[in-house]
A and B are shown apart, each in its own frame.
Chain A
């Protein structure tokens, strides 16, 4: 994974971006709460000729505490990033928390994005059908929610960085140094996510989502146990002309569980 640091906002912030591919056919990819990983979907997009630009959400996976406190702070920093890179008229794809950020970006500057793809996005909350509380759970509960089968192949291939370290069989019984490492990884991912999702993931997207104008598609795992597929309706209602692709046999880690079906939807 190639990464580089891009200073934005007159040097006030620095954004780390990862890139795949080298064409002029740019695509902005925003990662979910599990962190930024070289997942098969990203690799597949690059193989299909896309130049994937994927920022690591500031604070995610590093040790910095930034003064970015709200989703709006983050949106403006990402608009600055696109200005800095000279990117316009490009597709935006976001998964999970990244889907929420993508929706906010596309609502703020609708003309900037040629198309909008939101994969199991966050951003809404209904107490009668609550999203999974990943801020208050044990590792085994987290694994069971994020994966259709926490012991299955997708979970095995997930790697052990970011939140995926926690959502792993065995994290429960970790002790000593290993336990500390797990706590650190958990803190580096979820503590940043908390700025946008704590205690409930609703930051008012419902008041802005109608502004998204490009062709939009919503992609969702039918068995998503973190953000249930019923939440797709909020996006379908909010974004005029949007469509839903339901993918079977996938929970929230849909990029690992059904990469081909997701790629089919995106390409």
Chain B
């Protein structure tokens, strides 16, 4: 199987009393909490952490897209991906962003992904998220009544823009373009694999099966709830008589690896509590714009993280999070066993691990990345080896890979700089 490293790029320095003092980490989170010099540091930590993970053996690195929040402030994942394309070598770069209904015309997404694919030598995975309601409806003003239809149209348009050898005209309900003819086109033919991050909308299951897209369930509710959603996806595949290829599924899991569970609790516990109590502290009124979810999804009772209109539970503790499976923690052996169980029970071929969580500082994140990448990841790779991964980038053979100057003394010398 493939094991990827995911990063949310959270704001790691929210005040202690954030949840008491402010109503939401998303949409209208006050900018007074944002410090640009700190953000400079944090963006570079995030990129360093992803590059470190890539160098230590993760198969891919994942970035994603959110807007107007302190939970994960990468409004443009393509900018992160561009940097990673130059600073990593053989890993896949998985952009779980580009909420395609937000961009008008969506050919912009087709162009940028094609650029990234050319720069990286065909290492891109193109995520097609619908985007959360907070991102798309409240922050980006998209009409929830038509968002999903617009999303489907954007997807069709992007696929055609990547693959059609002719200049074509697009005459849609949401987009009209007389001449579509994007330059460049992706290295990967016919196009980079498409992964759809899902949050439990049931029509996304059919959509992914129809389009041969990967369905990635990105939730922080852990593998226990994840099972309910992934079973829904696989049942659909079953009903339709389709192969249940684990590589058509991705799953996100928070992971901390240490020398003992006690050590994990001590070192990582507070940062994980920060994540659940602050990063998920959203105003219930922003949870789910009317129309964002279809009636079928509502009726299926898969509201997921939105849950209830009432106040968020808050006050999650390390113990309860561990118990509920929100986080997988322990020695390399424990973590490996638990992740193996997740991969097999949920039939997951792409396990996306989140090793930097909440307020976790850079050094500690690096420690967790190292231990997880070197002592857990290699022991999981043998799983699902009897399936073909048709959702993985077809990387260009003989890729040109510009070495960053400061890692190469000769180049640095030639440029007149120090090592």
Which residues of A line the B interface, CB within 8 A?
Answer: 63, 65, 67, 69, 133, 135-139, 141, 171-176, 179-180, 182-184, 186-195, 198-199
Contact = CB atoms under 8 A, between A and B. Distances in A.
A180 B146 contact: no
A138 B285 contact: yes
A171 B284 CA distance: 13
Contacts of B293: 183, 187
Contacts of A193: 290
B314 interface: no
Interface string B143-178: 111100100000000000000000000000100000
B289 interface: yes
A174 B308 contact: yes
B295 A171 contact: no
A191 B290 contact: yes
B207 interface: no
Contact of B290 (A135, A139, A180): A135
Interface residues of B, number: 26
A193 B289 CA distance: 12
Contacts of A184: 295, 298-299
B285 A141 contact: yes
Contact of A171 (B137, B173, B291, B309): B309
A209 B222 CA distance: 54
In terms of DSSP, what is the predominant structure of the interface of chain B?
loop
Given A138-B309, A173-B310, A174-B309, A192 B298 contact: no
Contact of B146 (A69, A135, A171, A175): A69
5 contacts: A69-B173, A190-B290, A194-B143, A194-B291, A198-B145
B310 A191 contact: no
A194 B298 contact: no
A195 B309 contact: no
Contacts of A190: 290-291
5 A-B pairs with least C-beta separation: A191-B291, A190-B290, A136-B285, A194-B145, A191-B290
A264 B407 CA distance: 83
A239 B137 CA distance: 33
B256 to A, nearest CB: 32
B274 interface: no
Contact of A199 (B141, B303, B310): B141
B285 A195 contact: no
Given A194-B145, A195-B143, A180 B310 contact: no
Given A138-B309, A195-B145, A198-B143, 17 more contacts: A69-B173, A136-B286, A136-B289, A179-B309, A180-B301, A180-B303, A183-B288, A184-B298, A187-B295, A187-B298, A189-B290, A191-B290, A192-B145, A192-B291, A194-B291, A199-B137, A199-B141
A63 B303 CA distance: 18
A173 B301 CA distance: 16
A133 B137 CA distance: 13
Nearest to A173: B310
Nearest to A176: B301
Contacts of A174: 308-309
Contacts of B143: 194-195, 198-199
B6 interface: no
Contact of B295 (A63, A135, A175, A194): A63
A191 B145 contact: yes
Contacts of A180: 298-299, 301, 303
